[in-house]
Amino acid sequence: MRSHEAGSGPGPTPSSDARNGWEVARPAGGTSVDGVQLAGFRDRTAVGLDMRVLPQPTVVVVVGLGDNPVTVAGATGQRPMRSLVAALSPGPVRIRGERVECLEVRLSPRAAYALLGVSPRELDGSVTGLEELWGRHERVLRERLTDAATWRERLALMDGFLLGRAAGAPSMSPEVAAAWDTIVARRGRVRVGDLAVSCGWSRKKLWSRFSAQIGLTPKRAAMIVRFDHAARALRAGGSPADTALACGYADQPHLHRDALALAGCTPGALAGSDTSAG
């Protein structure tokens, strides 16, 4: 979803972006679970949704409100979904919908490991129907959110639901968490061997534990984090050549190859498209 900061105040305040017609609401006081960001979205002027989903260093959960599903189009075809979860690296995917109203939850890898109820590796690098993960709990949650009268109630309901799931949830190992934090801090410009040395593990052990708890190999995670910074720079107006240099790519063709592999388009096309990043 395209983001627009909501106003401050004692509770979530919807704000409108006249440029794209979306109403957005965020909890003014943050959330009760570390690594979680919440936002409510409503297509206020029925402009419709046509969004490219990009790899990014968060797992994105979207709970649709009401009966209108979105269409998720990827390599395996198209599927209607009311609620969904997008892996860190979902592959080239587009989401389209009309009169969309939803609650979006962005989860850090630590939070995703604790809250999703499955290993992130089981998301299989795709966009998955949330009901497949949470079963009847997804349906009950979606119905309660839809019936709530205000964004304040909806955000509070979701926050409470996640807080309940966090109780007794598994914790990511400190070594994996530290390796991920290093990758993010260095914007993906890190050697896997150095990560292994820093946590006192062999490369094989790091690969195995990291993949199980993050859902990606360390090398792939570094690739995703670097590409996330490149995608943001391109959308901010940076040229492909300058972006490649600034983000640590060997050259512009290297960035071009990553864009095709991860987003299904060229850097130039990415710069001019609406995406879920940022």
Show the domains of the chain with their CATH numbers: 15-166 (2.60.120.10), 174-271 (1.10.10.60)
Quickly state the pLDDT bin for 273 (edges 50, 70, 90): low
Residue 53: strand, helix, or coil = strand
Q: Hey, what long-range contacts does 174-182 have (CB within 8 A, 24 or more apart)? A: 175/199, 175/200, 175/201, 175/206, 175/209, 176/209, 176/210, 176/213, 176/214, 177/110, 179/206, 179/210, 179/218, 180/109, 180/110, 180/210, 180/214, 180/221
Pairing mode, strands 49-53 and 127-129: unpaired
As a whole number, the mean pLDDT across the chain is 88
Q: Would you give the DSSP letter of residue 6?
A: P
The average pLDDT across 167-188 equals 95
| Tens-digit pLDDT profile for residues 38-65 | 999 999 888 899 988 889 999 999 999 9
Instruction: Mention every residue, 6+ apart, whose C-beta is less than 8 A from residue 181.
Output: none
Q: What is the C-alpha separation between 263 and 74, in angstroms, rounded? A: 11
If we measure between CA atoms, which residue out of 62, 135, 141 comes closest to residue 105? 62
